[in-house]
């Protein structure tokens, strides 16, 4: 089942959230376990820009009852729920039975590892049916420049200036590099942002 999930970049996910009509709409995002902390940190800062409302991060590590209580008590319009890794099938059953408690003006998102997502799919069928197609696997870092894209930019800079990468690093090391932003970009593309003068 997880293999058939549609993959989404962070940018696409944010646009989907921004395009949602006002209403209690929930999304599930499946993330590599090792990336969950970083993803939560990033989404906590960026979702509010697209959802245009206050958001709250709630940990599920104390179990389903505690999570539902916190959801009910929260006043924010959008919730970001995480730390489901310790949940067993009983916790998911509980959430499944109490899904009507997940009621917020702009909805929310569950960020899960693939293991937790498998358990959710098996143990919370009604919740999954309610979420519908809004279960995505995150294609992390797809906004980062790829190696071919980096090479295209470097080629453009070399052709424009007539210099080589070695020339540019040597100029920067001797504080002779012109101060136009193109040369700063060149250093960044070479992984030598440390040579940009401050």
What are the residues binding other proteins (CB under 8 A)? 9, 11-12, 14-15, 18-19, 42, 45-46, 49-50, 142-145, 149-150, 152-153, 156-157, 159-160, 175, 179-185, 187-198
Longest dimension (CA), the chain: 68
Q: How far is the CB of 172 from other proteins (least distance, A)?
A: 10
Q: How far is the CB of 105 from other proteins (least distance, A)?
A: 19
Q: How far is the CB of 17 from other proteins (least distance, A)?
A: 11
Which CB, 98 or 169, lies closer to other proteins?
169
Do 70 and 58 meet the contact criterion of CB atoms below 8 Å apart?
yes
Which CB, 4 or 19, lies closer to other proteins?
19
Helix (H, G, I), strand (E, B) or coil at 141: coil
Which CB, 90 or 143, lies closer to other proteins?
143
Q: How far is the CB of 73 from other proteins (least distance, A)?
A: 28
Q: Give CA–CA dist 47/76, Å, rounded.
A: 13
Q: How far is the CB of 50 from other proteins (least distance, A)?
A: 6
Which CB, 15 or 88, lies closer to other proteins?
15
Transcribe 89-133 into DSSP letters. Answer: HHHHHHHHHTGGG---SS-EEEEE-HHHHHHHHHH-HHHHHHHTT
23 burial type by CB count under 10 A (0-12 exposed, 13-18 middle, 19+ buried): exposed
Helix (H, G, I), strand (E, B) or coil at 163: coil
Which CB, 75 or 147, lies closer to other proteins?
147
Q: How far is the CB of 156 from other proteins (least distance, A)?
A: 4
Residue linked to tokens 């358990």: 119
Which CB, 12 or 114, lies closer to other proteins?
12
Q: Identify which of 153, 195, 149, 156 has the alpha carbon closest to the alpha carbon of residue 176.
A: 195
Distances (CA, A) of 102 to 25, 30, 44, 166, 189: 10, 19, 19, 58, 45
């Amino acid at each position: 089942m997880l293999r058939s999930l549609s993959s989404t970049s962070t940018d696409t996910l944010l646009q989907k959230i921004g395009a949602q009509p006002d209403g209690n709409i929930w999304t599930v995002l499946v993330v590599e376990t090792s990336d969950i902390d970083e993803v939560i940190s990033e989404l906590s800062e960026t979702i509010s820009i697209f959802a245009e409302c206050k958001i709250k991060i709630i940990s599920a590590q104390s179990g389903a009852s505690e999570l539902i209580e916190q959801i009910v008590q929260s006043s924010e319009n959008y919730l970001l729920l995480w730390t489901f890794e310790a949940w067993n099938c009983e916790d998911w059953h509980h959430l499944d039975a109490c899904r009507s408690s997940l009621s917020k003006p702009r909805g929310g998102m569950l960020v899960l590892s693939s293991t937790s997502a498998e358990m959710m799919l098996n143990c919370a069928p009604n919740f999954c049916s309610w979420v519908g197609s809004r279960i995505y696997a995150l294609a992390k870092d797809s906004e980062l420049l790829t190696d071919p894209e980096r090479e295209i930019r470097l080629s453009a800079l070399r052709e424009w200036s007539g210099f080589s990468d070695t020339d540019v690093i040597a100029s920067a090391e001797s504080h002779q590099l012109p101060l136009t932003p193109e040369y700063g970009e060149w250093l960044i593309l070479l992984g030598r942002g440390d040579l940009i003068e401050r």
